[in-house]
Each structure stands twice: as structure tokens, then as C-alpha cells.
């Protein structure tokens, strides 16, 4: 009975076969397993097409777990996973300046933009095989973002700690701090006035006015002149 192969290209020796040479096949299988588990392959792209092949019983590029794309493709490069009946999970890092689109059959494809990374699943369903982006719907309970840009997400609701808006103006309106209606706009002169003076922190009594001590402190005090001074001024000036 001849050997058979699984979808990853590992050779399964038939009972009683390869007497005296099975060790070579086993060593190759172990190398294939190592490549499937943690192998990192540098895949050089050119022009606009590339075939990533898994060859039965032979170390091949389609067996790498991590695909580091390089080279100088002339445009969007379509990478065909062959054969179409082998299922694979790839960690892809696109180091080129072009988009790389992975396809396996007539099903869905996945595009990895220049400079991006993704985890993709090729379902090996034959002519209708599809490629799925496993990173598109990650569910994580804790995320620590230390840099870069977050884009393409739905505006986070206020109840969830966001602003419910995608622009600064709309965010201020949603939060009830719209400039001109909810809060005053910044005024340089007003700010200078407030900075220069020490203002009272509570209301004064009826009939009082704001008075200054000439040293920057404003408080509530009696307005105008005393009664005695008013009478004296009346006598002098008539």
C-alpha cells in the first residue's frame, strides 16, 4: 500500500512500507511539523501574482506558520493558496508597499494592506474554498494600546466612556459643553482680568458694590461717599 498524506503534507507511511528508509521520511515529517508549528518564512513577491504551495512530503513555503511578505510587487499581489483542499492558519506580516490578497477558491478572500499584519484561516473546501480574517472580530476583555492609530471603529457611547461622536465639535455637543451655548469661548482679555485680580467667592449685601483695594483684591463694600461727606460737599459746592 502506498503512503498517504494529510492536508499539511505530512507523509503517513503504509504498514510494512519503506523498510530501511522510513527514517528519512520520518525526519522530513518532523521538519514539516516544526515548520507548521513555529516556522517563519520570508516570501518574496513580484509582479501581481504568487502561488503559496504545500507539496506532499516535501518542505515547502505553504507549510510556514508565519509569512513575512517582502519583495517589490508592481501592484496588489494576489497570493493563491495551493492546493485548495488543504486547511491552514497563517500569521501574515505584509512588509511590502502593496496590498496582498489571499485566495484559495471561489469563496471569500482576505486583503492585508501594506505594512499591516493579520491572522488568516484558509478552510481548504476545494473549489469553493474561502479565506477568513480571524483578526476582524477579536473579542478581548482587556486591551492596552500604547501607540499607533485606531481607525474604522464605531463611535463609543457616552455610557461606555466615550463621547458618542467622531468630531470634537459633535463630542462637545453630546457632552453638553458646546461652545457659545453651554460654555463661553476662551477670551484672552477676560482671562487676563481674572488672573490679575483676586475675586470674592460669595455674594455681598444689598446695596454694596465691588470695590478694589488697589492691590488686586476685589471685594464687596459700600458704594459712593459717606453721609457726612455728602453734606459737606453740598455746603461747599451749593
pLDDT at 97: 97
| Predicted local distance difference test score (pLDDT) of residue 225 | 59
- Sort strands 218-222 and 208-212 into parallel, antiparallel or unpaired: antiparallel
Whether residue 64 lies inside any domain: the answer is: yes
Q: What is the pLDDT of residue 150?
A: 76
Q: Are residues 108 and 197 in the same domain?
A: no
Q: What is the pLDDT of residue 223?
A: 64
**175 vs 165: CA distance, rounded Å:** 10
Q: Is 211 part of a structural domain of the chain?
A: yes
Report the domain count for the chain.
2
- Please report the pLDDT score of residue 102 as a whole number: 98
- Is the separation of the CB atoms in 111 and 95 below 8 Å? no
Each residue's pLDDT tens digit in the chain (238 positions)? 689 998 889 999 999 899 988 999 999 999 999 999 999 999 999 999 999 999 999 999 999 999 999 999 999 999 999 999 999 999 999 999 999 999 999 999 999 999 999 999 999 999 999 999 999 887 778 888 888 887 777 888 899 888 888 888 898 888 888 888 888 888 888 888 878 888 888 988 887 888 888 888 988 887 665 556 556 656 665 5
Contact between 116 and 149 (Cβ < 8 Å)? no
pLDDT at 221: 82
Say yes or no: 128 and 33 in one domain.
Answer: yes
Report whether 86 contacts 60 (CB < 8 A).
no
pLDDT of residue 166: 84
Identify whether residues 192 and 129 lie together within a single domain: no
Print the domain residue range for 210.
188-237
Residue 107 counted as domain residue = yes
pLDDT at 222: 77
Q: Are residues 219 and 103 in the same domain?
A: no
Question: Cell digits for 222?
Answer: 459700600
**DSSP sequence for 13-54:** PPTT-STTTHHHHHHHHHHHHHHHHH-EEEEEEEEEEEEEE-
Query: Is the domain of 100 the same as that of 9?
Result: yes
Q: What is the 3-state secondary structure (H, E, C) of 135-194?
A: CCCCCCCCCCCCCCCCCCCCCCCHHHCCCCCCCHHHHHHHCCCCECCCECCCCHHHHHHH
Largest Cα separation within the chain, whole Å, is 137
Query: What pLDDT is attached to residue 126?
Result: 96
Whether residues 11 and 123 share a domain: the answer is yes
Across 191-224, b (16+ Cβ under 10 Å) vs e yields eeeeeeeeeeeeeeeeeeeeeeeeeeeeeeeeee
Residue 176 region by backbone torsions, left for phi larger than 0, else alpha for psi between -120 and 50, else beta: left
- With respect to residue 227, please indicate whether it lies within any of the assigned structural domains: yes
Pairwise CA distance, residues 211 & 222, whole Å: 8
State the pTM of this model. 0.64
Give pLDDT, residue 107. 97
Amino acid at each position: 500500500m502506498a503512503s498517504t498524506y494529510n492536508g499539511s503534507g505530512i507523509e503517513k507511511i503504509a504498514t510494512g512500507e519503506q523498510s530501511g528508509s522510513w527514517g528519512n521520511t520520518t525526519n522530513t515529517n518532523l521538519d514539516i511539523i516544526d515548520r507548521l508549528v513555529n516556522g517563519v518564512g520570508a516570501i518574496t513577491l513580484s509582479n501581481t501574482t504568487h502561488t503559496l504551495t504545500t507539496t506532499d512530503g516535501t518542505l515547502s513555503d505553504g507549510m510556514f506558520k508565519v509569512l513575512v511578505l517582502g519583495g517589490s510587487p508592481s501592484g496588489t499581489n494576489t497570493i493563491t493558496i495551493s492546493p485548495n483542499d488543504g486547511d491552514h492558519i497563517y500569521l501574515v506580516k505584509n512588509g511590502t508597499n502593496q496590498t496582498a490578497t489571499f485566495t484559495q477558491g471561489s469563496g471569500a478572500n482576505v486583503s492585508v494592506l501594506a505594512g499591516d499584519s493579520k491572522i488568516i484561516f484558509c478552510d481548504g473546501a476545494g473549489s469553493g474554498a474561502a479565506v477568513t480574517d480571524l483578526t476582524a472580530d477579536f473579542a478581548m476583555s482587556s486591551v492596552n494600546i500604547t501607540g499607533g492609530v485606531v481607525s474604522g471603529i464605531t463611535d463609543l457611547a457616552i455610557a461606555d466612556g466615550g463621547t458618542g461622536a467622531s468630531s470634537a465639535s459633535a463630542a462637545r455637543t453630546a457632552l453638553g459643553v458646546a461652545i457659545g451655548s453651554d460654555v463661553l469661548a476662551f477670551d484672552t482679555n477676560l482671562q487676563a482680568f481674572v488672573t490679575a485680580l483676586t475675586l470674592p467667592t460669595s455674594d455681598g449685601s444689598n446695596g454694596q458694590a465691588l470695590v478694589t483695594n488697589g492691590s488686586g483684591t476685589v471685594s464687596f463694600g459700600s458704594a459712593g461717599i459717606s453721609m457726612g461727606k455728602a453734606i459737606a460737599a453740598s455746603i461747599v459746592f451749593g
